[in-house]
C-alpha cells in the first residue's frame, strides 16, 4: 500500500467509507422495516387476539352465571313473576351467546398460523357443545322439571363449560406467547442494529483519521520536492544562458554556410532538370516494357490454350477408345443373349410338345413351359433394346469424332495467334533498346552536374569546420545541462511517485 499513488489511496479510502455508509443506511432501513413488521404483527394480530380471547372468556363466564341464575330464580319464583323473569333472562342469555359468537368470528380474521386455527376451531366446537347443553337444560326447565334442569346444568353443562374455558385459556396463552415472542424479536433486532451501527461508526472514524494522515504526510513530502525542483530550475537557467552564447557563434558559421548552400542549390537545379529527362525516358521505357510484358503474357496464354486444346484432343481420343471397347462388349453380350433366347424358345417349344403328350399329367409342366417361353420373349425384347443402345452409342462416337476435328482446327488457330504475338514482342524489344540508349546519354550529362555538387560540398565542409569550435563549446554546456537535467528529472520522478505511485 505504501507504493500506491496518493489518488489511489484517497480513492480507496473514500470508496470504503462510502461503502460503509451505504451499507449502514441499507442495513438500518432493513432492520427498521423488520422491527416495524414485528411491531405491526404484535399490534395488529397478537394484541387484538389476546383481547378477543379475554372478551370470549368474560362472555363465557357471564353466560354460565346467567344460566345458573335463571334456573335458580325459576325454583324460587312461580306464576307470572317466573315467566317474566325467565323471558328477561333468556333474552340476556341470547345476547351473551351472540357476543361470544361475534368474538369467535372476529378472531378468525386474526388467525396467523395453522396451530392457532386449530385452537380456535377447538374453542368453536366446545362452545357449540356447551351452548347445546345449556339450551337442553333450559328446555327441561320449560317442561316444569326445574330441579332436574338445575341438576343437568350443574353436571353436564358445567363440564362442557369447563372444557370451553380451558380451550379459551389455551387460545389466550398461545396469543400471549406469540405477542411476547414477536416483541422479543423486535427487541433483539434493535440490539443487533445498535451494535452494528456502533461498529460502522467506529470504522468510519478510523478511515477518516487514516485519510487525514495520508494527506498530511503527502503534503509535507510535496513541499520538500517542490523546493528542490525550484533550486534545480535556477541552475538550469544559468546553463541555458551559456548555451545561448554558443548558439550565437554557431549562427555566424551557419551564415557562411548559406552561400555554399546557394551554389549547391544551383547545381541541384541542373541535376533536377537532367533527372526529369531521365525520368521521362524511364517512363517511356516502362511503358514499352509494360507493353512487351502484356504481349508476352498474351503469348503465354495463347500457348496455354494450345496445350489445353491438345490435351482435350487426347482426352477425346481416350473417350473414343473407351466407347469402342464398350460397344464391343455390348455386341458380345448381345450375341450371347440372342443365343440364349433362341435356345430358350426351342426348349419351351419342346416342353410344350412333351407336356401335350403327357396329357393330364403334363398340364403343370405345360404352364412352366409357357412361362419359360414368356421369359424368352422378354429376353428377346431386351436384346432388341440393347441393339438400339448400340446404335445410340455409335451416334455418340460419330459426334465425338466431329468434336475432335473441331478441336484440332482450334489448336491450329491458337498456334497462329501465338506466332503473331511473339512477332509483336520482338518489335517492342527493339524500341526499348533505343530508349535505353537515350537514358545512357542523359546519365553522362548528370555526371557533370555531380562534379559541381562535389565542389560546392567542399566549400560547405570548410564552413562546417568553423562551426565545429562553436559546437564543442555548445557540447560542453550541453553536458552540464544534461547533468542538471538528470537531477531535475530525478526530482520530477519523485514528485510523480508521490502523486501517481509506482508505475
Q: What is the pLDDT of residue 141?
A: 81
Could you write out the DSSP letters of every residue in 45-59? IIHHHHHHHHHHHHH
Confidence of residue 447 (pLDDT cuts 50, 70, 90): low
Confirm whether 373 is domain-assigned.
no
Query: Rounded to an integer, what distance in angstroms lies between the CA atom of residue 426 and that of residue 292?
Result: 8
- 174 pLDDT exceeds 70? yes
Domain count for the chain, please give it: 1
- What CATH number did the domain enclosing 56 receive? 1.20.120.30
Confirm whether 435 is domain-assigned.
no
CA distances from 303 to 297, 408, 411 (A): 10, 14, 10
- In three state form, how does the secondary structure of 187-239 look? HHHHHHHHHHHHHHHHHHHHHHHHHHHHHHHHHHHHHHHHHHHHHHHHHHHHH
- Percent of the chain at pLDDT > 90 equals 2
- 415 pLDDT exceeds 70? no
Query: Rounded to an integer, what distance in angstroms lies between the CA atom of residue 149 and that of residue 188?
Result: 56
Q: What is the pLDDT of residue 125?
A: 92
Confirm whether 327 is domain-assigned.
no
Query: Rounded to an integer, what distance in angstroms lies between the CA atom of residue 482 and that of residue 488?
Result: 9
Grid cell digits, residue 465:
569546420
- Overall average pLDDT of the 157-178 stretch: 88
Q: Are 6 and 214 in contact (CB under 8 A)?
A: yes
Confirm whether 258 is domain-assigned.
no
Q: Which of 105-114, 160-169, 485-494 has the lowest mean pLDDT?
A: 485-494
pTM confidence score: 0.37
Q: What is the pLDDT of residue 442?
A: 67
Q: What is the pLDDT of residues 32-42, one digit of tens each?
A: 777 767 666 67
Confidence of residue 77 (pLDDT cuts 50, 70, 90): low
Confidence of residue 126 (pLDDT cuts 50, 70, 90): very high
Long-range Cβ contact pairs of 340-345 (< 8 A, separation 24 or more): 340/379, 341/376, 341/379, 341/380, 341/383, 344/372, 344/373, 344/375, 344/376, 344/379, 345/373, 345/376, 345/377, 345/380
Contacts of 454 (CB under 8 A, 6+ apart): none
Confidence of residue 308 (pLDDT cuts 50, 70, 90): confident
Confirm whether 437 is domain-assigned.
no
Confirm whether 156 is domain-assigned.
yes
Confirm whether 250 is domain-assigned.
no
Average pLDDT over the chain reads 75
Q: What is the pLDDT of residue 118?
A: 92
Q: Are 450 and 271 in contact (CB under 8 A)?
A: yes
Angle, vertex CA 56, rays to CA 179 and CA 173, nearest 5: 30
Q: What is the pLDDT of residues 270-287, one digit of tens each?
A: 767 776 777 677 677 777
Q: What is the pLDDT of residue 282?
A: 66
Closest CA to 171 of 238, 226, 222, 104: 104
Q: What is the pLDDT of residues 84-101, one digit of tens each?
A: 556 776 787 788 888 888
Query: Rounded to an integer, what distance in angstroms lies between the CA atom of residue 402 and that of residue 396?
Result: 10
Q: What is the pLDDT of residues 184-226, one digit of tens each?
A: 887 887 888 888 888 888 887 888 888 778 777 776 666 676 6
Confirm whether 477 is domain-assigned.
no
Query: Rounded to an integer, what distance in angstroms lies between the CA atom of residue 270 and that of residue 451?
Result: 12
**φ and ψ of 329, to 5 deg:** -65, -40
What residue numbers bound the domain in which 32 lies?
6-220
Confidence of residue 122 (pLDDT cuts 50, 70, 90): very high
Q: What is the pLDDT of residues 361-407, one digit of tens each?
A: 666 767 777 777 777 777 777 777 877 777 887 677 678 767 776 77
Amino acid at each position: 500500500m505504501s507504493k500506491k499513488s496518493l489518488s489511489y489511496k484517497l480513492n480507496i479510502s473514500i470508496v470504503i467509507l462510502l461503502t460503509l455508509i451505504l451499507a449502514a443506511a441499507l442495513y438500518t432501513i432493513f432492520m427498521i422495516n423488520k422491527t416495524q413488521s414485528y411491531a405491526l404483527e404484535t399490534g395488529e394480530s397478537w394484541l387484538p387476539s389476546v383481547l378477543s380471547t379475554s372478551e370470549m372468556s368474560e362472555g363465557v363466564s357471564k353466560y354460565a352465571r346467567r344460566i345458573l341464575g335463571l334456573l335458580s330464580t325459576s325454583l324460587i319464583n312461580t306464576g307470572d313473576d317466573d315467566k317474566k323473569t325467565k323471558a328477561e333472562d333468556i333474552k340476556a342469555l341470547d345476547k351473551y351467546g351472540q357476543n361470544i359468537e361475534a368474538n369467535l368470528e372476529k378472531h378468525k380474521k386474526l388467525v396467523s398460523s395453522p396451530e392457532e386455527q386449530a385452537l380456535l376451531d377447538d374453542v368453536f366446537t366446545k362452545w357449540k357443545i356447551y351452548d347445546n347443553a345449556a339450551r337442553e337444560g333450559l328446555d327441561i326447565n320449560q317442561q316444569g322439571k326445574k330441579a332436574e334442569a338445575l341438576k343437568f346444568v350443574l353436571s353436564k353443562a358445567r363440564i362442557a363449560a369447563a372444557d370451553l374455558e380451558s380451550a379459551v385459556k389455551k387460545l389466550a396463552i398461545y396469543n400471549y406467547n406469540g405477542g411476547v415472542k414477536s416483541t422479543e424479536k423486535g427487541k433483539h433486532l434493535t440490539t443487533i442494529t445498535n451494535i452494528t451501527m456502533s461498529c460502522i461508526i467506529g470504522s468510519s472514524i478510523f478511515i477518516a483519521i487514516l485519510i487525514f494522515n495520508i494527506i498530511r504526510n503527502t503534503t509535507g513530502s510535496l513541499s520538500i520536492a517542490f523546493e528542490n525542483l525550484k533550486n534545480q530550475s535556477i541552475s538550469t537557467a544559468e546553463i541555458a544562458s551559456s548555451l545561448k552564447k554558443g548558439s550565437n557563434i554557431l549562427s555566424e558559421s551557419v551564415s557562411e554556410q548559406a552561400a555554399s548552400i546557394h551554389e549547391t542549390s544551383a547545381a541541384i537545379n541542373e541535376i533536377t532538370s537532367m533527372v526529369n529527362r531521365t525520368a521521362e525516358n524511364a517512363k517511356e521505357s516502362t511503358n514499352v516494357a509494360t507493353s512487351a510484358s502484356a504481349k508476352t503474357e498474351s503469348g503465354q496464354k495463347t500457348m496455354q490454350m494450345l496445350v489445353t486444346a491438345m490435351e482435350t484432343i487426347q482426352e477425346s481420343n481416350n473417350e473414343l477408345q473407351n466407347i469402342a471397347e464398350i460397344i464391343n462388349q455390348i455386341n458380345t453380350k448381345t450375341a450371347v443373349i440372342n443365343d440364349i433366347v433362341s435356345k430358350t424358345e426351342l426348349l419351351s417349344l419342346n416342353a410344350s410338345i412333351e407336356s401335350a403328350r403327357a396329357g393330364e399329367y403334363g398340364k403343370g409342366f405345360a404352364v412352366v413351359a409357357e412361362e419359360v417361353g414368356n421369359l424368352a420373349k422378354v429376353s428377346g425384347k431386351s436384346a432388341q433394346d440393347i441393339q438400339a443402345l448400340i446404335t445410340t452409342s455409335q451416334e455418340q462416337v460419330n459426334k465425338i469424332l466431329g468434336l475432335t476435328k473441331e478441336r484440332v482446327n482450334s489448336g491450329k488457330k491458337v498456334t497462329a495467334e501465338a506466332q503473331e504475338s511473339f512477332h509483336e514482342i520482338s518489335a517492342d524489344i527493339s524500341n526499348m533498346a533505343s530508349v535505353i540508349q537515350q537514358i545512357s546519354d542523359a546519365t553522362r550529362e548528370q555526371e557533370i552536374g555531380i562534379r559541381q555538387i562535389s565542389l560546392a560540398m567542399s566549400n560547405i565542409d570548410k564552413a562546417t569546420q568553423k562551426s565545429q569550435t562553436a559546437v564543442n563549446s555548445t557540447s560542453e554546456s550541453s553536458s552540464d545541462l544534461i547533468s542538471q537535467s538528470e537531477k531535475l528529472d530525478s526530482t520530477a520522478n519523485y514528485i510523480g511517485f508521490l502523486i501517481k505511485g509506482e508505475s
